[in-house]
């Protein structure tokens, strides 16, 4: 998996992290298991665009140069980009009181800025205080595919610390292809329902063929919807869009908080524009130097780490449905998944969906993002295992996929695949490649390894060739950058935060000893105070700074 929102059948095999404040999921539409389940992303992509491959033919990607580093762009703005950098945003009231929206233009193809533009949605909430303004603070919740504007309006613009909101204009830009910014669409609601129920742990050639067919239908749908746009949704291009936003907002330097995949986006910005870095917080960090297969394997191990923490907590509760000993929990859950594979259980869903192995696994994975959802997961598992009622796990799965009660889906999963598949060469090219790697994935996670290995196959059938490759990001000359890592983070393993800190020339690591995905705004006063001091006064954490929930 990558640090995107990974799910057994995520259009891209990686659960790119979700950042944001935790909140309990109580209905099929009730937000994410952690405020906005930001989905984390893959790796740095180049600025050039690839030509589309023949439909359903696995793209042949370039072999990345060992140890290659992302090169900074020239400091001067090319004349062809001047109209974009000089544009004035026209703000209008939108959404809840105090929020304003505008539309920003950016080149569809930065290599040919005169060949057409893309419209990007921007939102802001002006600083609430009366003191000296610190400018704009851009936020991104991750994904790729998470709506930054939705995150701003639902949480960041009203839930960030009051002292931060008092000094900064809170700003969000939906990345190209996401939500309000010319969204990629691939399947309708019924088609997506069938896709999410596909068996992602095939037992024979027939089931393997069905899984491959599902990936191909998904890719074909995306290619038919936006054949030109799909070549230009890379993280590098979105990072360049952020620099246009910085200029349009009137800021000399970018101040930014990115969670999960948002850390890859922020680090890419720093690598391309090190001299324009202001105060950057990269929470739930990714390692941009990893190829897709290594990233997915690391993330699989991350989910196992989180699941073991859940198992230890579960057996301490009187209602744990998975046994009384922590070492039994994984085996019992795996056995339950096998039963669902043979015989799904009813859910009471109006559209007739039953709970099979795929949806159940996604529901469990969703709860791993936030330890605040563990009690809900226990209840859902108890109902499914003891009462033959799969409704609770379906709620968790629907929250992960962002499925509405009316059967519609946001474009999160479509954008997630579109960005991930262009950012890096695919982890696997054929089903045989997956079978060869299964022992390593199952060793990394006996519970989730098989499903997450097969989930990495989806990009092999993407209709557009990848344009990016793994790169180290150094950002030489950038102002101090704060990298945040959580020790038992499922989607962005702690080792990634350490790796990114070693790469960035000016990085300061803040360690959160705890569970869940990301750390800022999740209950640790130590974390929040440290990041607030950096955002408000420019003071980065001291070397070796560690925080905990207590």
Which residues are marked as active site?
260, 489, 517
H or E, element range at 206: helix 205-225
CB atoms closer than 10 angstroms to residue 359: 29
Q: Are 294 and 456 in contact (CB under 8 A)?
A: no
Q: Are 143 and 7 in contact (CB under 8 A)?
A: no
Burial class (CB in 10 A: 0-12, 13-18, 19+), 290: buried
H or E, element range at 99: strand 99-107
Token representation of residue 443 = 């060793």
- Rounding to the nearest 10 degrees, give the CA dihedral for residues 499, 504, 505, 506: -110
Q: Are 169 and 157 in contact (CB under 8 A)?
A: no
Strands 254-259 and 136-140: what pairing?
Answer: parallel
Whether omega for the bond prior to residue 380 falls within 30 degrees of 0, making it cis, is no
In angstroms, the CA 378 to CA 392 distance is 10
Q: Are 67 and 30 in contact (CB under 8 A)?
A: no
In the block, residue with structure tokens 């969703």: 366
Q: Which long-range contacts (CB under 8 A, 24 or more apart) does 93-99 make?
A: 94/123, 95/123, 95/153, 96/153, 96/158, 98/125, 98/126, 98/157, 99/123, 99/124, 99/125, 99/152, 99/153, 99/157
Residues 393, 394, 400, 405: is their CA dihedral positive or negative?
Answer: negative
Q: Are 443 and 304 in contact (CB under 8 A)?
A: no
Residue 261: name the closest of 122, 35, 419, 108 by CA.
Answer: 419
Three-state secondary structure along 158-182? HHCCHHHHHHCEEEEECCCCCCCCC
For 495-512, b/e burial (b = at least 16 CB within 10 A) is ebbbbbbebbebbbbbbb
In angstroms, the CA 8 to CA 10 distance is 6
Rg, Å, the chain Cα set: 22
CB atoms closer than 10 angstroms to residue 132: 7
In angstroms, the CA 286 to CA 317 distance is 33
CB atoms closer than 10 angstroms to residue 458: 27
Q: Are 223 and 54 in contact (CB under 8 A)?
A: no
């Amino acid at each position: 998996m990558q640090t995107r929102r990974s799910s057994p059948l995520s259009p891209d095999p990686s659960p790119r992290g979700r950042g944001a404040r935790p909140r309990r999921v109580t209905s099929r539409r009730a937000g994410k298991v952690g405020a906005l389940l930001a989905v984390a992303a893959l790796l740095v992509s180049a600025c050039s665009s690839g030509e589309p491959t023949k439909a359903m033919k696995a793209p042949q990607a370039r072999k990345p140069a060992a140890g290659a580093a992302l090169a900074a762009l020239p400091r001067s703005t090319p004349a062809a980009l001047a109209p974009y950098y000089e544009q004035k945003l026209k703000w209008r009231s939108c959404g809840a009181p105090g929020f304003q929206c505008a539309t920003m233009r950016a080149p569809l193809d930065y290599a040919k800025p005169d060949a057409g533009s893309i419209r990007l949605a921007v939102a802001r909430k002006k600083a609430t205080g009366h003191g000296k303004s610190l400018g704009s603070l851009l936020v991104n919740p991750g994904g790729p595919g998470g709506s930054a504007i939705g995150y701003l309006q639902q949480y960041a613009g009203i839930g960030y610390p009051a002292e931060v909101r008092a000094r900064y204009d809170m700003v969000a830009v939906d990345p190209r292809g996401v939500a309000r910014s010319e969204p990629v669409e691939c399947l309708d609601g019924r088609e997506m329902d069938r896709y999410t129920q596909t068996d992602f742990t095939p037992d024979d050639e027939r089931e393997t063929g069905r899984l491959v067919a599902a990936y191909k239908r998904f890719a074909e749908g995306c290619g038919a919807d936006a054949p030109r746009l799909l070549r230009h949704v890379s993280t590098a291009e979105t990072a360049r869009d952020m620099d246009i936003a910085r200029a349009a907002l009137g800021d000399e330097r970018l101040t930014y908080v990115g969670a999960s995949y948002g850390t890859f986006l922020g680090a890419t910005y720093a690598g391309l524009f090190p001299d324009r870095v202001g105060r950057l917080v990269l929470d739930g960090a990714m390692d941009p130097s990893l190829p897709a297969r290594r990233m997915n394997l690391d993330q699989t191990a991350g989910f196992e780490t989180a699941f073991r923490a859940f198992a230890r907590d579960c057996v301490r509760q009187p209602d744990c449905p998975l046994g009384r000993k922590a070492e039994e929990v994984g085996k019992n859950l795996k056995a339950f998944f096998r039963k669902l594979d043979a015989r799904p259980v009813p859910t009471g869903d109006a559209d007739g969906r039953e709970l099979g192995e795929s949806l159940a696994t996604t529901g469990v994975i969703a709860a791993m993002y936030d330890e605040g959802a563990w009690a809900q997961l226990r209840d859902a598992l108890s109902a499914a295992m003891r009462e033959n009622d799969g409704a609770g796990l379906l709620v968790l799965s629907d929250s992960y996929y962002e499925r509405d009660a009316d059967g519609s889906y946001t474009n999160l999963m479509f954008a997630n695949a579109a960005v991930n598949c262009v950012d890096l060469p695919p982890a696997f090219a054929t089903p045989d490649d997956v079978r060869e790697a299964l022992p390593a994935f199952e060793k990394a996670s006996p519970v989730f390894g098989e499903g997450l290995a097969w989930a990495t196959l989806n990009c092999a059938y993407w209709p557009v060739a990848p344009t990016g490759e793994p790169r180290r990001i150094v950002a030489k000359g950038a102002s101090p950058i704060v990298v945040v890592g959580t020790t038992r983070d499922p989607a962005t393993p702690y080792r990634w935060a350490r790796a990114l800190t070693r790469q960035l020339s000016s990085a300061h690591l803040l360690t959160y000893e705890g569970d869940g995905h990301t750390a800022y705004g999740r209950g640790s006063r130590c974390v929040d105070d440290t990041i607030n001091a950096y955002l408000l006064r420019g003071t980065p954490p001291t070397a070796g700074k560690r925080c905990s929930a207590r």
